[in-house]
Amino acid sequence: MSSENAAVDVRKGDELDVAAVDTALKANVAGLSGTPTVKQYPSGASNLTYALDYPDRSLVLRRPPTGTRPKSGHDMHREYRIMTELEPAFPTVPKTLYYTGDESIIGAEFYVMERSEGHLIHNDIPKDWGWTEVETRALCEEFFTKLVDLHSVDYEALGLGDFGKPEGYVSRQILGWNRRYEKAWTADVEKFEDVRDWLESNMPETERGAAVVHGDYRIDNCILNKNDPTKIEAILDWEISALGDPMMDLGNTLAYWIEVDDPPFMHMMVRQPSKAKGMMTRQEILEFYAAKSGADVSGFQFYYVYGIFRLAVIIQQIYYRYYHGQTDNKRFKDYGQMVNALGQLARLKIKTGKL
């Protein structure tokens, strides 16, 4: 992988019982030998991800975070299952190897997958790639084509019909995220009752179909092909995937998509190279998605505002743990400011109606 996401020594408090993991894996995964070394990937603020290296095999282990967690969050089996069952029709997923719900092994459920070799990039495209706008545009189109491909998967044919309930997905998401925000609220952030009320009052009367939705689709959740980084080798972080309205998924994705001309406070949240010359704007992306998928994208303001506020709730849930001393990870100390910025952004987009 790119050095931008090089594994580092395991953080204090996030240690694994390596011997216990090794014993479990050798009993269930053929061909493992030797003693593994373990390091931790520093990116990501939710589930914990580790590099598990055997002498001749490179694996990745995922487990929930330590401390108090939302009751319905961090379901490792759902993440493992969606990748496993999607692979025949949508091979842009890592190869899964093992899952266990036996928390006696390391104190939590976990799963293991093959490491997808390639590049993982964050805020910027590496300068030494020497890319022009042509390559950047190619990656952008590849990224959103993959999203269209995912939304086109026949999930019933893959045995994923029971993975969720697409009917009523929009209302469950709006009411659910509003409720989660209330539960995770801390006194140093705004309540944004106006934003929550607007979302509840503006839910569309009909949903725009049903699809597998990733829920956290960003370039920095993709491994790019090591020989041709304009191509996506694997899509990671399926933790909050579900069956639901694909417009909600696109709204989530565009909530992360920061443009050069966006207000300064939006630039606090850059996590992928969406500002690079050659990347499409949010409006161009919406038009590209509609052309590729044939989807009705009218009234998209609602889905975009939802994506912004949902992101605020996710960050607030993480910040809640830091605020109450359930984690001492200093990366989270400014998350309350990010929540306030996102709430203000949602207000701005409600007022202007623009992407």
Residue 120 in any domain: the answer is no
Same-domain status, 313 and 206: yes
**Residue 13, exposed/middle/buried by CB under 10 A (0-12, 13-18, 19+)?**
exposed
Q: What three-state secondary structure class fits 159?
A: coil
Name residue 206's amino acid.
T
Same-domain status, 171 and 87: no
What pLDDT sits at residue 1? 46
Exposure b/e, 179-197, CB count within 10 A at least 16 = b: ebbeebbeeebeebeebbe
End-to-end CA distance of the chain: 33
Same-domain status, 153 and 178: yes
Say if residues 23 and 16 touch (Cβ distance below 8 Å): no
d(CA 347, CA 309): 10
What pLDDT sits at residue 42? 83
Same-domain status, 12 and 131: no
Same-domain status, 58 and 156: no
Instruction: Give the residue from 114, 135, 167 where a domain finishes.
Output: 114
Same-domain status, 275 and 342: yes
CATH number for the domain harbouring residue 182:
3.90.1200.10
Residues 6+ apart with CB under 8 A from 46: 65, 73, 74, 239, 314, 318
Residue 103 in any domain: the answer is yes
- Residue stretches of the chain with pLDDT short of 50: 1-3, 68-71
Residue 213 in any domain: the answer is yes
pLDDT in tens, 176-208: 999 999 999 999 999 999 999 999 999 998 999
Same-domain status, 164 and 41: no
Same-domain status, 192 and 288: yes
Distance of CA 62 to the CA centre of its chain: 14
Same-domain status, 176 and 282: yes
Residue 149 in any domain: the answer is yes
Say if residues 118 and 226 touch (Cβ distance below 8 Å): yes
Residue 304 in any domain: the answer is yes
d(CA 2, CA 113): 19
Residue 194 in any domain: the answer is yes
Closest CA to 311 of 270, 279, 262: 270
Residue 121 in any domain: the answer is no
Instruction: Give the residue from 92, 114, 136 where a domain finishes.
Output: 114
DSSP H helix total and E strand total for the chain: 9, 9
Say if residues 311 and 342 touch (Cβ distance below 8 Å): yes
Q: What is the dihedral of CA 48, 72, 221, 141, to 10 degrees?
A: 180
pLDDT in tens, 111-168: 999 999 999 999 999 999 999 999 999 999 999 999 999 999 999 999 999 999 999 9
Q: Which domain range does residue 67 map to?
A: 3-114
Residue 122 in any domain: the answer is no
What pLDDT sits at residue 70? 47
Q: Sort strands 232-235 and 222-224 into parallel, antiparallel or unpaired.
A: antiparallel
CATH number for the domain harbouring residue 83:
3.30.200.20
Instruction: Give the residue from 81, 114, 147 where a domain finishes.
Output: 114
Same-domain status, 82 and 143: no
Same-domain status, 146 and 270: yes
Same-domain status, 30 and 87: yes
Tally of structural domains, the chain: 2
